[in-house]
Amino acid sequence: LNGDYTIINDLNLIDEGAFVNLHWRDLNLMLPRTFNYGEISFTDRKWWWSYKDREKGEYINSPELRQRMPSGEIIDYSCKVE
């Protein structure tokens, strides 16, 4: 929020103004934090990144990455933390 950069290890400490940098394939994404109730996620409305399993409702070590296509179709990509 004030221009400082910090790596957060506890996802519950993420505050407004936070963003995530993703380096995946040939893409570099910088997604701002969403404030959807009950989840920690980041989106620019085309790409969406979340640490919460939607079915189980718990935080996981295999985040979700989704892409919204121009047609409105959603593509899910399998992820794992390295």
State mean pLDDT over 57-72. 80
Query: What are the structure tokens assigned to 72, written together?
Result: 């409105």
User: pTM for the whole thing?
Assistant: 0.68
Confidence tier at 52 by pLDDT (50, 70, 90):
low
Query: What are the structure tokens assigned to 76, written together?
Result: 């899910």
Report how far apart the first and last C-alpha atoms of the chain are (Å, whole number).
Answer: 27
Structure-model confidence comparison of residues 31 and 6, the more confident one:
31
- DSSP conformation letters of 14-81: --TT-EEEEEETTEEEEEEBP--TT--EEE-SSEEEEEEETTTTEEEEEEEEEEE-TTS-EEEE----
Query: What are the structure tokens assigned to 9, written together?
Result: 């290890």
